[in-house]
Structure 1
Amino acid sequence: MFAYHLMALHSGTVGSAQDLYQYTQVAKDLGHEVLVYGPPDLSLPFTFSLDLAAVDALVFVFEWTTHLRDGDRLDFARFVTKVPRERRIVIDCDGAYNDPISANGDHNHRDAALSRRWTEVCDSLSSKICQPTLRPLRSNVIPFLFYGFNPKRAEPYEAESKEYGMMYVGHSKLRWSAMERVLRAVEPVREQVGRLAVVGHGWDALPPWAAAMRIEEAFYTDYAYLQKLGVEIFPPIRFEHVIPWMSRAVFNPVLLRPIFQRLQLVTPRLFETVSASTIPLLTMDDAEHVRQIYGEEIMELILPDEHPERRILDCVRHPERYVGILKDIRRHLAGQHSHTRRLKELIKIVES
């Protein structure tokens, strides 16, 4: 059973909803059943349950918070009394189970007290703390990438059907510097690229919850520059529609928050973008980290520091050059990073 923030699942526009759904699907093929902790909700494609009696393992998926819902103290009391500690796992998705770390204006905690509190909560629930990185900083953290690639969802590349030159599906939170780098590369060849679009919270205005959470600066963008380049801005979409929206463009940049780059974390977009009928264009600085995830072929899809506009223009004018590379990367991901493989790895961690 997964324990995850229910608001995120109901919105369907943030976090790990897509990967949780994929786990529920591949579990059936392996003879397992994956549930999500919570009251029944027929509007969502998940099997919810509050019954912990028959649960073999409980996996906490923590992103920006360790809370699950309002009034969840009773839930946590049930967790620790109904499921043995050795059968509980914490997935620390955003690298918060660390001392305070900062990178290019991004951070995992505002101060040491918040870091200690997060660590205490995780340690109180489990001795098996996982992070989606191959190189965790703390020695007691288990490297487990959690997110995965579903080869059945991979769409064939169809160059003729593209409405946009560039599309980015994702919120603006702490991604402006990476997006600006892409747009600066687009600017010299703007007329040749065609329509540009971003989809998600924060690109044109602060999300309604940003002020209450004191994270206004995280959603900074240069809206005037977006307007100058004629970037079309769309509201967030549910996780079921992410890949079809990506597939509407010739290329999609793959962006990571600075702290995620610092901690070498993987995210859902690293795999979803490769599933879409689009050319994934990566902006990460650590080439070795990228190579470890995607394989050697990915080097042709990294936005270079020198003359990046040439790579942009080549993608737009000659997308067929990248189709073979995309197929090779998909084969690599299907073998090394499928959700089926991830679930088998998770079961081993539970049983260890």
Structure 2
Amino acid sequence: MNRARILISGNFHWQAGFSQTVAAYVRAAEEVGCEIRVSAPLSRMDAEVPRHLPVEQDVRWGTHLVLMFEARQFLTADQIELAGSFPRDRRLIVDFDGHWGAGEDAAGDSASNKYSVESWRLLYSTLSDLVLQPKVSGPLPPGAEFFKCFGLPRAVSHPLELGRKRDYDLQYIGSNWCRWEPLAEVVEAAARARPPLRRLRVCGRWWEGETCPGFEDITSGEPGWLRRRGVEVHPPVPFDHVIQEMGRALISPILVSPMVTRTGLLTARLFETLASGSLPVLPAEAEFMAPVYGDDAAHLTLGADPAAVLTRLTADYEHHARIVGGVQDRLRVEYGYRRVLEDLLSFFR
């Protein structure tokens, strides 16, 4: 392929969604021999995005178009028509939330509830013949191809470099979006560990009884429950500080929503947690992600006795730190953003 100029269309919010992933694509583009910009005419974005990502006003600059979707169908009819100015074989869709081929109950916990499955099928079919999904569990739907989408961030801290002495024994950074029960289970397991893990923290929204308007059922929790168990509750962490803040804890669970569990989709958090230098652990709901970590995932999975696993991780921290370091080394190659971007370009050939 001659030097491709890829325009990305998406609903961009700098501290949410896939904006940081696209930033990683942009950084890797020169290594791969292409250019990447965000298409202003084919995107929605907040005021922060142009400060961090190259934004292109003219769609004629691009030779290829990548349309990225999470929960929202953000394109207007005029924008859909404008996207059609690219040859169809130079348009593809990255379907982060697995709308293509989904059953009626597949969303269930996101803003995508406002759109029917059929409306997603119609939209995608109008825009492209190729849909890419980061689906690692279960078969891909007809017409979809596997694409990693996410990768290991460039800056990686080895757990041994950070050492055993951390500010927290265990923490979770992220909002309560269908994650109350998974977090509560980990907190209870921390209390049963021997010795108990007492320095606990959660950072994010909707952990203290407040809820997201319109999504009360999936952002609710028991007021005061966490604080009564010694968990520090803090506001959200700015996006560009998430990995660094994760590294302040010895252990960080990877919590996933029911939608992610049902669809078997990768998320950026799997790689962010690994990069932080905290020991990532996979609760039962996230075990479908274990193949990405490889055989070593068995050492990092909470399984049937989470308290015993937390006890083992803290008692033999150095051993598990070396295991995590080995996973980092492997994924730096397999899931480095150069490899991710090379895979994306291969779909246009």
Distance across 2 between alignment mates of 1:231 and 1:286: 22
Which of 3, 14, 32 is equivalent to 2:9?
3
Paired residues for 1:5-20 under 5 Å: 5-6=11-12, 8-9=13-14, 12=15, 14-20=16-22
Q: In the alignment, what sits opposite 2:135?
A: 133
Gaps of 5+ in 1: none
Paired residues for 1:213-292 under 5 Å: 214-285=214-285, 287=287, 289-292=288-291
Deviation at 1:264, TM superposition (A): 1.2
Give the aligned residue type for 1:88. Answer: R
Distance across 2 between alignment mates of 1:203 and 1:139: 39
Which of 306, 312, 318 is equivalent to 1:320?
318
1:142–1:219 distance in 2 versus 1, CA, 3 Å? same
Describe the superposition over 1:45-88 as per-residue Cα deviations: whole angstroms up to 9, x where unpaired. 111112111212111111111216xxx4443332222x222211
Between the aligned residues of both structures, percent identity stands at 25
Q: Secondary structure of 1:193's match?
A: coil
1:99–1:42 distance in 2 versus 1, CA, 3 Å? closer
Q: In the alignment, what sits opposite 1:79?
A: 83
Distance across 2 between alignment mates of 1:238 and 1:41: 13
Describe the superposition over 1:143-196 as per-residue Cα deviations: whole angstroms up to 9, x where unpaired. 11211113x311122224411111111121112222122112112249742321
Q: In the alignment, what sits opposite 2:35?
A: 33
The TM-score, its normalising length taken from structure 1, stands at 0.87
Q: In the alignment, what sits opposite 1:172?
A: 176
Q: Secondary structure of 2:152's match?
A: coil
Deviation at 1:110, TM superposition (A): 4.4
Q: Secondary structure of 1:97's match?
A: coil
Distance across 1 between alignment mates of 2:193 and 2:87: 59
Deviation at 1:44, TM superposition (A): 2.6
Q: Secondary structure of 2:171's match?
A: strand
Deviation at 1:137, TM superposition (A): 4.1
1:130–1:242 distance in 2 versus 1, CA, 3 Å? same
Contact 1:17 1:239 in 2 (8 A): no
Kindly report the root-mean-square deviation, in angstroms, between the aligned alpha carbons of the 2 structures: 2.5
Distance across 1 between alignment mates of 2:222 and 2:49: 40
The TM-score, its normalising length taken from structure 2, stands at 0.88
Gaps of 5+ in 2: 1-6, 42-46
Distance across 2 between alignment mates of 1:73 and 1:105: 26
Paired residues for 1:175-186 under 5 Å: 175-186=179-190
1:266–1:99 distance in 2 versus 1, CA, 3 Å? closer
Contact 2:109 2:259 in 1 (8 A): yes
Paired residues for 1:190-201 under 5 Å: 192-201=196-205
Distance across 1 between alignment mates of 2:290 and 2:165: 30
Distance across 2 between alignment mates of 1:98 and 1:108: 18
Q: In the alignment, what sits opposite 1:100?
A: 103
Deviation at 1:327, TM superposition (A): 1.3
Contact 1:250 1:315 in 2 (8 A): no
Q: In the alignment, what sits opposite 1:60?
A: 67
Q: Secondary structure of 1:162's match?
A: coil
Q: Secondary structure of 1:53's match?
A: helix
Distance across 2 between alignment mates of 1:104 and 1:50: 33
